[in-house]
């Protein structure tokens, strides 16, 4: 199953790269800003 | 035995479902009580229960009262101001009498009369419990800070306004951003009464440049020209702001820096919330 | 190896309980009616767990994805998708079976004695969760925007029952301002929650099978996950006990990495010859194992 292992390794590498890129462009800050404050309508209160 | 299990299972299921619905909308049963008891003072254990009842009365004829509230926002507040909120509602409804059928108008008058009585009960309640209908629920902590144009501001701004509507929001909150235009409209309207709308973006409290820039962009895109201010996160006012749990939240502050009424939670772009806001503003003006 | 795998399968309920507590570890907040605001919220928890839960230690992956793509700055989230792919490869739907609080919630409800109904004939409903993932989570926040390019988190706002269980209900219990703000939207979502609760009594994990976008994503990842099942061809006597026992309607002997398999291990416990096992790692399929 070498092919599958290759795919798995590639995905692992890709995911780490994506995470890094996302953090670099500020996505983690957006996640944080939204996650620590309650936007009522956003969770269906209203 | 199996049957027993099944029955227990059904009951458990029902209990679970019911307990989950317990926090939903409550039935307006007490309205009937109010009407029959003709506002019996001893019924009310706290000022909050009186206020709850007033709200239920208004909610029961929501469609009719929405029309009244909508008209109130266009009128000059000064000539329908009165000591008793029930009278305020009466006068406002009378002004647009021709929008209603005789039956509907009578309902409005009855409601206003009940609210008038409830307000009187409220006034007789010992002052520790709660003062008049939408009176002070605290103080807006004093602060010094800046607005988005770089000008210095401090809590003396409250004295300079007849009342101040303070809206708390943050950039990532789409309903908060969604109402920025409505808040600007409100600002234009309350200017005539000597009031002002002020925005406080929670993310800008530490003076974060990026957040302020982003906030400015949003305000501009929504055509919101009213003042937005920020102050130190570690100050008393900063702590007050950061303790706010849900957004958007809107407070009304009177001349003396007192908070008037309960904060409006959720957008003001629906009739119910707008009505509540109007009530707070009326009370602030009455100070 | 036998002892280890049956441990996982046997103590799954406890692991689910522990995962739920760890995911929502900030217990005092429930009484205070406040949210955890620490740095943990830069990261996601693996299961479906609303950030508006007072106890939540991290952000919900589905909520976070919508928050990022719904902001005016971004149209896609590399950060969250990266995290989901990473979790998917490392654990796949083991997360669903062991680490998701809402999955555990449905299983507890299913324990309520009643006639249990099979979902075998309702197979087509499984596709709904992929549609929900694609439409409500990925597309709508990007396509339906205001003039600033900001979109609503459609799944969170209109569908997710977990937000009602963990956010709306606990918060409205301790916060009168939030109680007063409950309106039509809340009623709609409460209706969805009650429906899911009732269905969960009669069906096994209906939300996971038919509605959960997170489950849909992990399902796609099951085939490339390091966490997998193994069936020893020498020991398997094709008695069908595993397929009969499986509440996700999977025949593990035909497909060890079926997208609907949540790795609950009921088949492991049902197998008379102990032919089924959990397997972890970069697996080279041996001769005596059933090929995928």
Q: In a mutagenesis test of the A interface, which of B173, B174, B243, B250 is the best target, namely the one with the most A β-carbons within 10 Å? A: B173
Assigned token pair, C150: 């900001």
pLDDT of residue B131: 40
From A46, which residue of chain B is nearest by alpha-carbon distance? B266
Cβ distance of A33 and B172 shorter than 8 Å = yes
Whole-model pTM: value is: 0.79
CA distance A29 to chain B (A): 10
Q: What stretches in chain B show pLDDT beneath 70?
A: 1-45, 47-48, 70-83, 126-136
Q: In chain B, what residues touch A40 (CB-CB under 8 Å)?
A: 175, 246-247, 265-266
Same domain membership, residue B149 and residue B108: no
User: Distance (Å) from the C-alpha of residue A27 to the closest C-alpha of chain C?
Assistant: 6
Structural domain of B88: 30-124
CATH number (domain holding residue C242) = 3.30.70.20
Cβ separation of A41 and B265 shorter than 8 Å?
no
Domain end point (choices C220, C248, C263): C220
Q: Which residue in C68, C82, C178 is closest to A19 by CB distance?
A: C82
What does the H/E/C string look like for chain B? CHHHHHHHHHHHHHHHHHHHHCCCCCCCHHHHHHHHHCCCHHHCCCHHHHHHHHHHHHHHCHHHHHHHHHHHHHCCHHHHCCCCHHHHHHHHHHHCHHHCCHHHHHHHHHHHHHHHHHHHHHHHCCCCCCCCCCCEEEECCCCEEEECCCCEEECCHHHHCCEEEEEEECCCCHHHHHCHHHHHHHHHHHHCCCEEEEEEEHHHCCCCHHHHHHHHHHHHHCCCCCCEEEECCCCHHHHHHHCCCEECEEEEEECCCEEEEEEEECCCCCHHHHHHHHHHHHHHHHC
Q: Domain span at residue C258?
A: 226-280
C116 and C33 belong to one structural domain? yes
Does any domain span residue B12? Answer: no
Number of separate domains in chain C: 2
- Beta strand pairing call for A38-39 and B246-247: parallel
**Which residue range is the domain that position A28 belongs to?**
2-43
292 residues of chain C, pLDDT tens digit each: 445 458 899 999 999 999 999 999 999 999 999 999 999 999 999 999 999 999 999 999 999 999 999 999 999 999 999 999 999 999 999 999 999 999 999 999 999 999 999 999 999 999 999 999 999 999 999 999 998 999 999 999 999 999 999 999 999 999 988 998 899 999 999 999 999 999 999 999 999 999 999 999 999 999 999 999 999 999 999 999 999 999 999 999 999 999 999 999 999 999 999 999 999 999 876 544 555 4
The pLDDT tens digits of the residues spanning B86-121 come to 887 888 788 888 888 888 888 888 888 888 888 888
Test A36 with C157 for CB contact under 8 angstroms: no
Residues C199 and C246 in one domain: no
**Residue C121 shares a structural domain with residue C204:** yes
C residues 249-278 lying closer than 8 A (beta carbon) to A: none
C291 within domain boundaries: no
Query: Which of C220, C248, C271 is the C-terminal boundary of a domain?
Result: C220
Are A40 and B176 in contact (CB < 8 Å)? no
ipTM above 0.90, yes or no: yes
Q: Are residues C243 and C264 in the same domain?
A: yes
Nearest by CB to residue A28, choosing from C79, C157, C181, is: C79
């Amino acid at each position: 199953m070498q092919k599958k292992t290759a795919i798995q390794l590639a995905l692992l590498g890709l995911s780490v790269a994506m995470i890094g890129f996302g953090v670099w462009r500020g996505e983690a800050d957006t996640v944080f800003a939204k996650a620590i404050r309650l936007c009522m309508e956003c969770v269906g209160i209203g | 035995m199996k049957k027993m299990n099944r029955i227990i299972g059904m009951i458990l299921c029902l209990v679970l479902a019911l307990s989950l619905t317990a926090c939903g909308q409550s039935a307006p049963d007490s309205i009937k009580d109010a009407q029959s008891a003709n506002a019996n003072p001893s019924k009310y254990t706290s000022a909050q229960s009186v206020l709850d009842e007033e709200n239920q009365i208004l909610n029961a004829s929501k469609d009719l009262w929405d029309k009244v509230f909508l008209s109130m926002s266009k009128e000059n507040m000064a000539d329908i101001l009165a000591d008793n909120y029930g009278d305020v509602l009466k006068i406002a409804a009378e002004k647009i009498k021709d929008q209603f059928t005789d039956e509907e108008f009578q309902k409005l008058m009855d409601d206003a009369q009940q609210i008038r009585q409830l307000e009187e009960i409220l006034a007789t309640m010992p002052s520790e419990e709660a003062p008049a209908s939408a009176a002070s629920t605290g103080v807006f902590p004093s602060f010094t800070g800046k607005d988005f144009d770089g000008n210095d501001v401090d809590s003396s701004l409250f004295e300079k306004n007849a009342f101040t509507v303070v809206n708390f929001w943050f950039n990532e909150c789409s309903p908060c951003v969604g109402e920025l235009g409505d808040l600007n409209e409100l600002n234009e309207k309350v200017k005539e009464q000597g009031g002002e709308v002020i925005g406080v973006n929670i993310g800008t409290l530490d003076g974060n440049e990026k957040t302020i820039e982003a906030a400015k962009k949003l305000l501009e895109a929504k055509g919101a020209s009213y003042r937005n201010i920020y102050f130190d996160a570690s100050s008393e006012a900063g702590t007050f702001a950061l303790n706010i749990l849900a957004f958007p939240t809107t407070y009304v502050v009177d001349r003396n820096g007192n908070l008037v009424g309960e904060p409006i939670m959720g957008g003001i772009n629906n009739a119910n919330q707008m009505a509540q806001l109007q009530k707070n503003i009326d009370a602030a003006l009455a100070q | 190896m036998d002892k280890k795998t049956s441990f996982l399968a046997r103590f799954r309920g406890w692991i689910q309980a522990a995962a739920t507590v760890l995911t929502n570890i900030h217990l005092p907040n429930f009484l205070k009616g406040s949210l955890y605001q620490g740095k943990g919220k830069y990261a996601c928890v693996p299961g479906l767990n609303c950030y508006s839960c007072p106890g939540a230690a991290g952000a919900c992956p589905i909520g976070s994805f919508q928050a990022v793509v719904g902001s005016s700055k971004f149209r896609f989230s590399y950060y969250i998708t990266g995290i989901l792919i990473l979790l998917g490869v490392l654990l796949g739907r083991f997360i669903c079976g062991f680490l998701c609080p809402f999955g555990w919630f449905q299983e507890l409800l299913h324990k309520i004695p009643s006639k249990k109904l099979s979902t075998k004939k309702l197979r087509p409903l499984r596709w709904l969760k992929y549609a929900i993932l694609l439409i409500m989570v990925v597309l709508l926040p990007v396509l339906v925007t205001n003039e600033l390019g900001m979109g609503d988190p459609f799944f969170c706002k209109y569908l997710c029952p977990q937000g009602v269980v963990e956010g709306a209900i606990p918060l409205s219990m301790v916060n009168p301002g939030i109680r007063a703000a409950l309106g039509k939207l809340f009623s709609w979502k409460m209706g969805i929650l009650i429906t899911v609760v009732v269905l969960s009594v009669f069906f096994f994990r209906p939300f996971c099978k038919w509605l959960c976008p997170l489950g849909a994503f992990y399902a796609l990842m099951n085939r490339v996950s390091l966490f997998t099942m193994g069936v020893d061809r020498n020991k398997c006597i094709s008695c069908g006990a595993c397929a009969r026992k499986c509440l996700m309607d999977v025949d593990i002997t035909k497909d060890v990495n079926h997208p609907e398999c949540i790795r609950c291990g009921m088949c492991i416990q049902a197998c008379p010859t102990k032919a089924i096992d959990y397997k972890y790692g970069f697996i080279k399929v041996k001769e005596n194992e059933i090929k995928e």
